[in-house]
Chain A
Amino acid sequence: MNFLSIFVAVPLLMLLGLWLVKGQNGIRAVMVAGSTILLIAAAVLTVMFLQERAVNDAEMLFTASFDWIKPLHIKYSVGVDGISVAMLLLSAVIVFTGTFVSWDMNKEYFLWFTLLSAGVFGFFISIDMFTMFMFYEVALIPMYLLIGVWGTGKKEYAAMKLTLMLMGGSAFLMCGIFGIFYGAGGETMNIVDIANQTNGAHAIPVEVQHIWFPLTFAGFGVLGALFPFHTWSPDGHASAPTAVSMLHAGVLMKLGGYGCFRIAMYLMPQGAQDLGWIFLILTGISVVYGAFSACVQTDLKYINAYSSVSHCGLVLFGILMVNQVAATGAVIQMLSHGLTTALFFALIGMIYGRTHTRDIREMSGLMRIMPFLAVCYVIAGLANLGLPGFSGFVAEMTIFVGAFEHADTFHRFLTIAGCTSIVITAVYILRLVGKVLYGTATNEHHLHLTDARWEERFAVICLIFCIAALGTAPLWVSNMIGTGVAPIVDHISSFATNASFNPFF
């Protein structure tokens, strides 16, 4: 077995372990041990990757491939590049902290939670379209149960909505994947092989790309909260239990951006060049629209969900710019948004667990009551609005500088529209902070609430540490991601744009 498979094997072993152990402490032990191993594995992988990258400039490193369903050309192929290493690291951090956040949950919850993380890890290490799709589905399905059973509020509705919308996306995606497979000759499902099958022209005919690119992109876009397919996000996040929100917003939504980049754009470069403008407009709308929507929400989780729509819009916006800087920025934004939003959801969960309300009109003055959580919330808010020193600033600046490399009016207009989001973000974050944390406590039920417990503090501090580390020393991450982004961007931009498809040029 390849070293990478450890990321799938460990969650599976954790499932076994969870099944065997008894009692809350046993469950916790298995979860902590497993997620620590994953975190260490991710860290080790990063180091190994950086060393290997220095001497080996193959596109994917640590590759391995096993026949799985031979007649259908389906293989279990794994491999990583800079982007996937970054994503694995992110996932490991979130699974690790998510474990601590859901400290009191029962065995069944953790079983599904672990299965979900197995799907996520599997997705990021796969380089075979089918395997990737399979892991994608593995990651989606547990969500239904996690929300439907352990959620809050209108949980059945939310679980159903989320699952159905994402399944709808999967349907598009499935069509897209088969379109790519047969378009490229029906010989292989391996992403790198398909991309490199070019003999002058691309392996997939242009007309075929024009059909499947929008489908594939929209399919992943549903998960990446692309306007107008984002409405599962507010309801889903609002109802999901804390750690699930974290994992979902922090990692699962990244599957969308990652897939858009790695499958939709990489394998169908001409489609991306010709029809990318449609999605670029949609992402531009997402960015501003999500931010404006967040301004008037009254539920903490809704605010954060709309904020995610805005920030994930920025991810897709960055990759659709098709240049090295913007795409690197987009991947940093994935990391940044993943960490920040996970921190947010963790804190919201902790606050909700105490106040039993998420309505900002019913809370005030929490700073005096639970200073630790409140201070962390302010930090999360500042990180979210792109304060220097935190990861959001690095990501946003990189995206904007990259986006400015396009000098035409169409891109300029969208970039400037994107820039306005930094102001609107400030508006909703400060509104929230001012209403909920500052002021004097008006609700006397809140006066006797307690501050965070040790495991909660630990999770929160881990996340803040990661955000601050990424924000203060972005160089190595940026370089690592850059090595992953470069071949993809070069590949896409080696195909000329057919301007006749874009009415705005």
Chain B
Amino acid sequence: MFTYTILILLLPFLSFLLLGLFGNKLSHKLAGLIGTFSLGVVFLLSCYTAYEYFVTVGRGASGVYEAFVPYNITWLPLGSLHFDMGILLDPISVIMLIVISTVSFMVHIYSFGYMHGERGFQRYYAFLSLFTMSMLGLVVATNIFQMYLFWELVGVSSYLLIGFYYTQKAAIAASKKAFIVTRFADMFFLIGILIFGYYTGSFSFSFVNELKLADGVAAFIPADASRAMAAGSFILPTALTLMFIGGAGKSAMFPLHIWLPDAMEGPTPVSALIHAATMVVAGVYQVARMFPMWIEYAPQAMSIIVWVGVLTAFYAAAVAMAQSDIKRVLAFSTISQIAFMMVALGVCLPGHETVLDNHAQLGYMAGMFHLFTHAMFKACLFLGAGCIIHAVHSNEMREMGGLRKYMPVTHFTFLFSCLAISGIPPFSGFFSKDEIITACFQYSPVVGWVMTGIAAMTAFYMFRLYYGIFWGTENKEAHAHHTPHEAPWTMTIPLIFLTFITMTCGWIVNFGSFISASGLDYPIHLDTKIAITSTVIAVVSICIATYIYKGEKQPVADKLQAAMPRLHQWAYKRFYLDEVYQYITHRIIFKHISKPIAWFDRHIIDGFFNFLAWGTHELGFQIRGFQSGAIQKYAFIFLLGALILMLIMIL
């Protein structure tokens, strides 16, 4: 069963090979069609897999969806450990397949319009295919090492796509930064994996299959966890925390978030696919994947996830309020929303009677739910932003304003997505965010209120963005010069499709019946108090934003900015974190580590060997007087020596 799932990985890979190797020989249209067609098939296959998994096969005898492993081969044996490659289907990986293939398919279609006539069109599609393949490989990984392998591959495809416009300095710097920052985090991930592998004797995610009804906790202790226990109870929390650092790098958690805003230098559809919907949630997915281990072995360490998440959510929301580049606003909003998911996973408590308990670990479901809904509306927002950039040829908000009359489709899809992210019913974001906040309140009221506050900030900055683009001060001069126009159908259809999902997926199906901590069906029920509070707060924020930013003139906004110039400046400059990093990397690492090492190498070590050579040479030079070449002198010394020897022998 599910043997066809291998095609989900193979098709994009083949399309990558084809486009990568022979792309230059193909026409733009053909190359795009190959990529899009293969992704279309992948999309259908993913949907079919989900249908078969959730409906045809359905729940097993114990009431949970069983995990399937249609493929698992040993790729590389490593002594007692082994590095496997395979496909694991369980609720979260199947949902991720849907998310990735949907967004990727939409982006493929969209790119036809957006990238039309660009140089390197084939290369673009090749990289998209590579990315999709690696991301799909990541989510279906059967073991942590396979995840790491594809994790690196998505990192590289992100690098290549951010640097797509490789002649622009900003794009080069951004791609380099993204790769190095995530690579730095990956180092911790790798060390975490190595510790985990060594102490548990396995890299495998086989514990997901043991998750049954979780009263037999011992069932999913991997083969040799006794080693870990012997080494001390801190070992597994350490390993998991290190892995989380890796996830935090990929998911742009504070303080490793600095690469994501810069990553917006890539083409906008790429930002939608990689830097909003799929790759950046890999960290969330990783934590969700290791979730049983966290709950069982490191429940205390989960507070790290919570606080990192809360800090990131707040920081990113604060920065998003002051940015003027629309993609930057969306980027910080993404960071903030991913932090919501992280917080949701972190606020899960150990169950009372069984380890995995739907109620105590509501956040698990909420986090994955938010991942799903966020991917859809954030992709829609980014693609919408792409349409706008396509129309006005700028990322800056001051070039826009009043665009609603030029681009109606973009306008409405953008509006609906903004409503979704702000948490207004009946849009999907409302449901998922509500579950997260409920889970937070279960954990601690402080976290609950803080997250509610951040949700309000979200509504505010999203509508600031919305009004800044579609209402507000219109840059009439620029628009008269070059009238903005609605995007072609290839670009609007994905928008409409994603908006449709956003509008319906919150209430049309019960997400809790697919994913829940224990695997049992979990009917989502809205906590009325929290639902009403958060909706009211969101509406109030939207009203404030409307009041401030809707008008042609924005006296309040200007006054606010004038009143707090320092704060605005700090938020606009992202609290100068980039400068701090710049300082650390350039000043400290380059200037005070690399340069001295290079100097030391050239002058001290190499100098020593040169000194040896020079010393030998000098010694030879000093004693060359003995070899004067004057035979008479030699003969005299020879004679003298002979006489002395004779004398000694005689005496």
Q: Which residues of A contact B (CB under 8 A)?
A: 160-161, 164-165, 227-228, 231-232, 235, 289, 292-293, 295-297, 323-325, 365, 367-368, 382, 386-389, 393-394, 397-398, 400-402, 404-405, 407, 415-416, 419-420, 422-423, 426-427, 430-431, 434, 437-440, 474-475, 478-479, 482
Contact = CB atoms under 8 A, between A and B. Distances in A.
Contacts of A386: 152
Interface string B592-619: 0111011001000110111001000000
A407 B198 contact: yes
B183 interface: yes
Contact of A394 (B76, B180, B191, B589): B76
A321 B163 CA distance: 39
A388 B166 contact: no
Given A231-B605, A388-B153, A475 B169 contact: no
Given A227-B605, A382-B156, A407-B231, 4 more contacts: A387-B152, A397-B76, A430-B179, A434-B172
Contacts of B166: 367, 437-439
Contacts of A367: 166-167
A296 B599 CA distance: 10
Given A295-B590, A438-B163, A387 B176 contact: no
A129 B610 CA distance: 31
Contacts of A416: 191
Contacts of B152: 386-388, 393
Q: Top 7 closest A-B pairs, CB basis?
A: A438-B166, A325-B79, A231-B606, A388-B149, A295-B594, A404-B194, A296-B594
Contacts of B169: 439
B187 A420 contact: yes
B613 A161 contact: yes
B80 to A, nearest CB: 9
9 contacts: A165-B609, A232-B609, A296-B594, A296-B598, A389-B153, A422-B187, A434-B176, A440-B167, A478-B77
A402 B78 CA distance: 7
A53 to B, nearest CB: 16
Interface string B138-166: 00000001000110110010010001001
A295 B610 CA distance: 24
Given A382-B156, A387-B156, A420-B187, A400 B194 contact: yes
B187 A397 contact: no
Contacts of B601: 231, 289, 293
B75 interface: yes
Interface centre among A296, A365, A420 (most CB of B within 10 A): A296
B590 A296 contact: yes
A228 B631 CA distance: 46
Interface centre among A232, A324, A367, A426 (most CB of B within 10 A): A426
A234 to B, nearest CB: 8
Contacts of A482: 77
A400 B598 contact: no
Contact of B150 (A227, A289, A388, A474): A388
B78 A231 contact: no
A438 to B, nearest CB: 4
Contacts of B172: 434, 438-439
B605 A439 contact: no
A389 B175 CA distance: 20
Interface residues of B, number: 50
Interface centre among A235, A401, A427, A430 (most CB of B within 10 A): A401
Could you tell me the dominant secondary structure of chain A's interface residues?
Answer: helix
Nearest to B173: A434
B190 A405 contact: no
Contacts of B163: 438
A440 B594 CA distance: 27
A365 B173 CA distance: 14
Could you tell me the dominant secondary structure of chain B's interface residues?
Answer: helix
A405 B76 contact: no
Interface in B181-195: 183-184, 186-187, 190-191, 194-195
Nearest to B160: A378
A436 to B, nearest CB: 11
A275 B172 CA distance: 46
A323 B613 contact: no
A405 B191 CA distance: 13
B613 A404 contact: no
B79 A405 contact: yes
Given A165-B609, A388-B150, A474-B75, A292 B167 contact: no
B83 interface: yes
A293 B606 CA distance: 13
Contacts of A426: 179-180, 183
Contact of A292 (B75, B594, B609): B594
B401 interface: no
B609 A297 contact: no
B609 A365 contact: no
B76 A293 contact: no
Nearest to B145: A397
Interface in B112-126: none
Nearest to B169: A439
A329 to B, nearest CB: 8
B279 to A, nearest CB: 15
A439 B183 contact: no
A271 B167 CA distance: 55
Nearest to A435: B172
B74 interface: yes
A453 B183 CA distance: 35
Contacts of A404: 194-195, 197-198
Contact of A293 (B75, B594, B613): B594
A368 B167 contact: yes
B81 interface: yes
Contacts of A293: 594, 597-598, 601
Interface string B71-104: 0001111110101000000000000000000000
A6 to B, nearest CB: 32
Nearest to B194: A404
A418 to B, nearest CB: 10
B133 to A, nearest CB: 11
A482 B77 CA distance: 10
Contact of A423 (B75, B78, B187, B595): B187
A402 B176 contact: no
Contacts of A324: 79
B45 to A, nearest CB: 23
A235 B79 CA distance: 39
Interface in B567-607: 589-590, 593-595, 597-598, 601, 605-606
A394 B229 CA distance: 30
A324 B77 CA distance: 11
Contact of B167 (A389, A439, A475): A439
B167 A365 contact: yes
Contacts of A387: 152-153, 156
Nearest to B231: A407
A401 B195 CA distance: 9
Contacts of B589: 295
Contacts of B606: 231, 235
B81 A401 contact: yes
B76 A398 contact: yes
A296 to B, nearest CB: 4
A398 B180 contact: no
B79 A427 contact: no
A227 to B, nearest CB: 8
A400 B180 contact: no
A367 to B, nearest CB: 6
B594 A419 contact: no
B76 A400 contact: no
Contacts of B179: 426, 430
B397 to A, nearest CB: 29
A494 B177 CA distance: 48
Nearest to B168: A439
B641 to A, nearest CB: 32
A79 B40 CA distance: 55
Interface string B38-72: 00000000000000000000000000000000000
